[in-house]
A and B are shown apart, each in its own frame.
Chain A
């Protein structure tokens, strides 16, 4: 039946915020270089609030109905704790990429990410009617790999030695 709590899980819900609010959170999280290095292959960088806001607005302006980007809000205290989004939806193939991060590091390993992932997977499969969801994760991020496996992802392949971080591949 129609699910009225489509955007809500057991620990978190997914919400949309204005670009300037999103920028406040990204600004704070990006200063944490470990967070960034777990999340992205690009060099860690702490961008100004203005830069982040401009970038988000540009993304939102370019939305052709295939951008599903949300902030993760804790149901416990309504704090914004992370972000999640589907990008690169290929409608003809029913496939999309998903990206997620929990910026508030004291909440790592507490199930928030897994819960948010379950919510967005349900959204992807039952509301967008996609056939598959893909993601990439770094070898040195076992916490994320465990979380994705819990949410039901399986390893499909590995890009050998693709990153050079901390002096090793």
Chain B
């Protein structure tokens, strides 16, 4: 493997830190779309002002600096640096080499352009090759079929179905955990055996 190959740069997007000034405005707008927020998170959807978003950024960075088991990136468009979404590796358990991944593209107009796929492949490489993790999980709501397909295409396998864990839109839904092991990632790249 090549230590020279950039970890953060793809051909369409790149991974970068938060821009406290610019990003809060954009992310505040995203939080006003309830349908979207319910795809991205299991927390109650809740519109946030730019100042509230900024506060959440500070909390994220405090956790990144303090706990050492969270790695947070913004996903940005290569051509103009515009904020597209976020990617986080969290709940990293170092002794077991396990972590969880979550990824979101904020604006529906930015989906289906391959931005998320490329960001995911950068995130996987970072997790397996730089953090040297052995496995990753991702939690997806049953109703989020695009996300299920998305992770499946990247090589994730359904591992757990937490039955009826989500209560949304007047009914209950399963919460699905998909996972990927290091050797599956290597195979998907054609590395090793």
Interface residues of chain A, those whose CB is within 8 Å of chain B, are: 27, 31-34, 37, 43-51, 55, 140, 164-168
List, in ascending order, chain A residues with CB within 8 A of B17's CB. 27, 46-49, 51
Least Cβ–Cβ distance between A34 and chain B, in angstroms:
5
Query: Top 9 A-B pairs ranked by shortest CB distance?
Result: A33-B7, A48-B17, A166-B1, A48-B18, A167-B1, A166-B3, A34-B4, A43-B130, A46-B17
A165 CA to B5 CA in the complex, in Å?
12
**A46–B18 CB distance below 8 A:** no
- Which residues from B are CB-within-8-Å of A33? 6-8, 130
Least CB distance, A26 to chain B, in whole angstroms = 11
Query: In the assembled complex, which residues on chain A have CB atoms less than 8 Å from the CB atom of B130?
Result: 33, 43-44, 165
- Kindly list chain B residues whose C-beta atoms are within 8 Å of the C-beta of A165: 3, 130
- A31 to B16 Cα, complex, angstroms: 7
B110: CB under 8 A from chain A? Answer: no
Q: Are A45 and B71 in contact (CB under 8 A)?
A: yes
Which of A32, A140, A166 has the most chain B CB atoms inside 10 A of its CB? A166
A70 → B minimal CB distance (Å): 24
A126 CB to nearest chain B CB (Å): 37
Tally of B interface residues using CB under 8 Å: 26
Within the complex, the shortest CB–CB distance from B74 to chain A, in Å, comes to: 9
Closest to A163 in B: B132
B20 close to A46 (CB less than 8 A): no
State in angstroms the CA–CA spacing of A27 and B18 once bound together: 11
Q: Is the pair B3, A48 in contact by a Cβ cutoff of 8 Å? A: no
B75 contacts chain A at the CB level, 8 A cutoff: no
Tell whether, in the assembled complex, residue A166 and residue B2 are in contact, meaning their CB atoms are under 8 Å apart.
yes
Q: Could you jot down 26 A-B contacts, CB within 8 Å?
A: A32-B6, A33-B6, A33-B8, A33-B130, A34-B3, A34-B4, A34-B5, A37-B3, A44-B8, A44-B130, A46-B15, A46-B16, A47-B17, A48-B17, A49-B17, A49-B20, A50-B18, A51-B17, A51-B61, A51-B65, A55-B65, A165-B3, A166-B2, A166-B3, A166-B129, A167-B191
Complex: chain B residue closest to A168, CB-CB: B1
Q: Is B34 an interface residue (CB 8 A)?
A: no
C-alpha spacing A167/B3, complex, angstroms: 10
B-chain residues with CB within 8 Å of residue A48 when the two chains form the complex: 17-20, 61
Q: Are A50 and B61 in contact (CB under 8 A)?
A: yes
A117 to chain B, nearest CB (A): 23
Say yes or no: B6 contacts A34, CB within 8 Å: yes
Q: A34 vs B6: C-alpha distance in the bound complex, in angstroms?
A: 6
Does chain A have a CB within 8 A of B131? yes
Indicate if the CB atoms of B3 and A31 lie closer than 8 Å. Answer: no
CB pair B3 A43 closer than 8 Å? no
- Per the bound structure, the CA–CA distance linking A95 and B104 in Å amounts to 49
